[in-house]
């Protein structure tokens, strides 16, 4: 069994910060202590750096078939890019095709990932057709396949959306087996109406994407799903929340003692809707759903992280290259929805969040790793630095500066949503299950290293 010793680390977890050495045997953390007198096959000096748990991005879409094309990162390029930025685990979405079974979707996503993923991965199941034939699949998905989170879309009518009746019945079924429903909250009917209205007026440019998906449609759907979960006492996680109006619905729910898990994504904290109003087709780079919002929404989201109202920060990584985005050059509603992000979530949250005093170091670790691990049943194997946990460790140099660019990033996408951004704090080394995966900008492990993570529950307190 190989061994690794990390010396002089400043260990940061979601609860602690202290100086120690970390000794790793095989894939697991074996000992944590001061001045460990132990010989290892490999020693890394982490002086001057933070050592944090490997990041967990609970919301990615690798090789997603969507809007007539596929997202441009597959499990190899996407998980490798994640590792460069300190994300060691992703939770991707296996998406059921309407009229087909969830089992088929799962088999298909396993095919995409197996032998290809460089980093570790788990799956949520996106349920797009819930009926008497697919209902019995839930038990097996949880108990045999380790899928404990089931996503529903309240938008994308005709492709992914299900109705409230299907949602209630899915929630009941999922709860029986210790799982949780997670939700894309936008009112799909109102969105479709606004899109049709804009198209009828000949409005073509990317800015009509945001104008067809105002905050109120997200707030309405968030409030509705929160109420639906409340009436049946079901756990609930809302993905990619973007705005103050939706957060207010969560805040309201806390007054009746309801707990709702909330995810936002790094782009909603850092970018705003002004990008849609640029000249030409530039705004297409940021066409995603829900869209970017206003500056006041960014402030509300940062505050909500601090107030424990937002629990996780993911990316909704769903990149499309510019020639794919150009499918919507004459019709904003045909621009594939999604943007790249998996590589830079950790560094951006450190640089813009911790160094700009918006969140503490511990909160940074919590929202990027520990909380997603706990919510989705990966803790304590993942999401912390503790004896017996997987040795998924990130050595972060807090002083090193660098500039983000499509020219240098590792994601398979020909633009960066953060082109030219100067970031302070760089991932120097990423360790995945005791093996050095990335060191000084070089990938040292290959496709197929990533393992599937089976889970037992989701949404537990």
Binding mask 38-67 for ligand URP (x = CB under 6 A): -----------------------x------
Does residue number 184 form part of the binding site for ligand URP (CB under 6 A)? yes
* Cβ proximity to Zn ion, 89 vs 429, nearer residue: 89
Alpha-carbon torsion (331, 333, 337, 339), positive or negative? positive
Does residue number 316 form part of the binding site for ligand URP (CB under 6 A)? yes
* Cβ proximity to ligand URP, 417 vs 445, nearer residue: 417
* Cβ proximity to ligand URP, 142 vs 154, nearer residue: 154
List the one residue from 79, 289, 368, 410 that touches ligand URP (CB under 6 A): 289
Does residue number 316 form part of the binding site for Zn ion (CB under 5 A)? yes
Q: Are 448 and 75 in contact (CB under 8 A)?
A: no
* Cβ proximity to ligand URP, 156 vs 379, nearer residue: 156
Q: How many residues does the chain have?
A: 461
Does residue number 81 form part of the binding site for ligand URP (CB under 6 A)? no
In degrees, to the nearest 5, what angle opens at C-alpha 322 toward C-alphas 269 and 293? 25
Name the token pair of 392: 């998924």
State the nearest-atom distance from the C-beta of 434 to Zn ion, in Å: 31
Which of Zn ion, ligand URP, none sits in contact with 288, Cβ below 5 to 8 A by type?
ligand URP
Alpha-carbon torsion (228, 231, 232, 236), positive or negative? positive
Q: Are 318 and 339 in contact (CB under 8 A)?
A: yes
* Cβ proximity to ligand URP, 120 vs 186, nearer residue: 186
Does residue number 63 form part of the binding site for Zn ion (CB under 5 A)? no
Does residue number 120 form part of the binding site for Zn ion (CB under 5 A)? no
6-10: long-range contacts at Cβ-Cβ below 8 A with a sequence spacing of 24 or more? 6/43, 6/44, 6/46, 6/51, 6/393, 6/395, 7/43, 7/44, 7/45, 7/46, 7/47, 8/45, 8/46, 8/47, 9/46, 9/49, 9/50, 9/51, 9/395, 10/46, 10/49, 10/50, 10/51
* Cβ proximity to Zn ion, 12 vs 287, nearer residue: 287
Residues 248-277 binding ligand URP (CB under 6 A) are: none
Which of ligand URP, Zn ion, none sits in contact with 346, Cβ below 5 to 8 A by type?
none
Query: What does the DSSP 8-state code read for residue 97?
Result: P
Q: Are 396 and 428 in contact (CB under 8 A)?
A: yes
State the nearest-atom distance from the C-beta of 70 to ligand URP, in Å: 12
Contacting residues for 169 by C-beta, under 8 A, at least 6 apart: 130, 135
* Cβ proximity to ligand URP, 184 vs 285, nearer residue: 184
Does residue number 352 form part of the binding site for Zn ion (CB under 5 A)? no
Q: Are 186 and 289 in contact (CB under 8 A)?
A: yes
State the nearest-atom distance from the C-beta of 337 to ligand URP, in Å: 3
Does residue number 345 form part of the binding site for Zn ion (CB under 5 A)? no
Which of ligand URP, Zn ion, none sits in contact with 381, Cβ below 5 to 8 A by type?
none
Name the token pair of 403: 């500039």
Does residue number 188 form part of the binding site for ligand URP (CB under 6 A)? no
Residues 175-234 binding Zn ion (CB under 5 A) are: 184
Contacting residues for 81 by C-beta, under 8 A, at least 6 apart: 73, 342, 343, 409, 410, 411, 412
Site size toward ligand URP, by CB under 6 A: 8
Burial 45-80 (b: 16+ CB within 10 A, else e): ebeebbbbbbbbbbbbbbbbebbeebbbbbbbbbbb
State the nearest-atom distance from the C-beta of 161 to ligand URP, in Å: 11
Burial of 333 (0-12, 13-18, 19+ CB in 10 A): buried
Q: Are 240 and 301 in contact (CB under 8 A)?
A: no
Does residue number 384 form part of the binding site for ligand URP (CB under 6 A)? no
Q: Within a 13 Å sphere around the CA of 185, how many CA atoms are in the beta-carbon half?
A: 33
Which of Zn ion, ligand URP, none sits in contact with 269, Cβ below 5 to 8 A by type?
none
Does residue number 338 form part of the binding site for ligand URP (CB under 6 A)? yes
Report the C-alpha gap between 280 and 329 in whole angstroms: 10
**Which uninterrupted H or E stretch holds 80?**
helix 75-84
Which of ligand URP, Zn ion, none sits in contact with 298, Cβ below 5 to 8 A by type?
none
Does residue number 317 form part of the binding site for ligand URP (CB under 6 A)? no
Report the C-alpha gap between 27 and 54 in whole angstroms: 13
List the one residue from 89, 134, 315, 337 that touches ligand URP (CB under 6 A): 337
* Cβ proximity to Zn ion, 21 vs 73, nearer residue: 73
* Cβ proximity to Zn ion, 62 vs 359, nearer residue: 62
Q: Are 87 and 52 in contact (CB under 8 A)?
A: no
Which of ligand URP, Zn ion, none sits in contact with 358, Cβ below 5 to 8 A by type?
none
Does residue number 205 form part of the binding site for ligand URP (CB under 6 A)? no
Binding site for Zn ion (CB under 5 A): 184, 316
Binding site for ligand URP (CB under 6 A): 61, 184, 288-289, 316, 318, 337-338
């Amino acid at each position: 069994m190989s061994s690794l010793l990390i010396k002089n680390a400043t260990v940061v977890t979601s609860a602690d910060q202290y100086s120690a050495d970390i000794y790793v045997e095989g894939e697991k953390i074996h000992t944590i202590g001061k001045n460990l007198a132990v010989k290892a096959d490999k020693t890394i000096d982490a002086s001057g750096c933070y050592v944090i748990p490997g990041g967990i991005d609970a919301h990615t879409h690798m090789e997603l078939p969507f809007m007539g094309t596929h997202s441009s990162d597959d499990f190899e390029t996407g998980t490798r890019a994640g590792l460069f930025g300190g994300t060691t685990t992703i939770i991707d979405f296996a998406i059921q095709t309407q009229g087909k079974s969830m089992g088929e979707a799962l088999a298909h996503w396993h095919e995409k990932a197996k032998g290809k993923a460089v980093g570790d991965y788990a799956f949520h199941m996106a349920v797009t057709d819930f009926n008497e034939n697919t209902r019995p699949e839930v038990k097996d998905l949880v108990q045999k396949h380790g899928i404990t989170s089931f996503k529903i879309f309240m938008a994308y009518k005709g492709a992914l959306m299900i109705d409230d009746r299907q949602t209630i019945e899915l929630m009941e079924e999922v709860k029986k087996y210790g799982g949780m429903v997670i939700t894309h909250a936008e009112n799909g009917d109102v969105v479709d109406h606004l899109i049709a209205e804009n198209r009828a007026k000949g409005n073509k440019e990317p800015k009509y994407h945001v104008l067809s998906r105002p905050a109120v449609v997200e707030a309405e759907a968030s409030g509705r799903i929160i109420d639906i979960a409340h009436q049946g006492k079901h756990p609930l996680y809302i993905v990619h929340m973007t705005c103050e109006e939706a957060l207010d619905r969560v805040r309201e729910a806390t007054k009746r003692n309801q707990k709702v898990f909330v995810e936002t994504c790094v782009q909603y904290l850092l970018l705003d809707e002004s990008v849609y109003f640029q000249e030409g087709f530039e705004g297409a780079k940021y066409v995603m759903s829900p869209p970017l919002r206003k500056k006041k929404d960014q402030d509300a989201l940062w505050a909500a992280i601090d107030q424990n109202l937002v629990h996780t920060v993911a990316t909704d990584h769903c990149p499309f290259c510019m020639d794919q985005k150009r499918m919507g050059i004459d019709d904003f509603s045909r621009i594939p929805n999604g943007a790249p992000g998996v590589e830079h979530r950790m560094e951006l949250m450190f640089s813009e969040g911790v160094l700009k005093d918006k969140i503490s170091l511990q909160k940074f670790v919590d929202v990027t790793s520990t909380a997603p691990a706990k919510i989705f049943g990966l803790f304590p194997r993942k999401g912390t630095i503790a004896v017996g946990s997987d040795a998924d460790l990130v050595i972060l140099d807090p002083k090193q500066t660098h500039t983000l660019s499509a020219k240098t990033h590792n994601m398979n996408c020909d633009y960066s949503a953060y082109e030219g951004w100067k970031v302070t704090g760089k991932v120097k080394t990423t360790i995945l299950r005791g093996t050095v995966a990335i060191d000084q900008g070089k990938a040292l492990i290959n496709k197929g290293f990533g393992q599937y993570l089976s889970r037992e529950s989701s949404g537990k307190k």
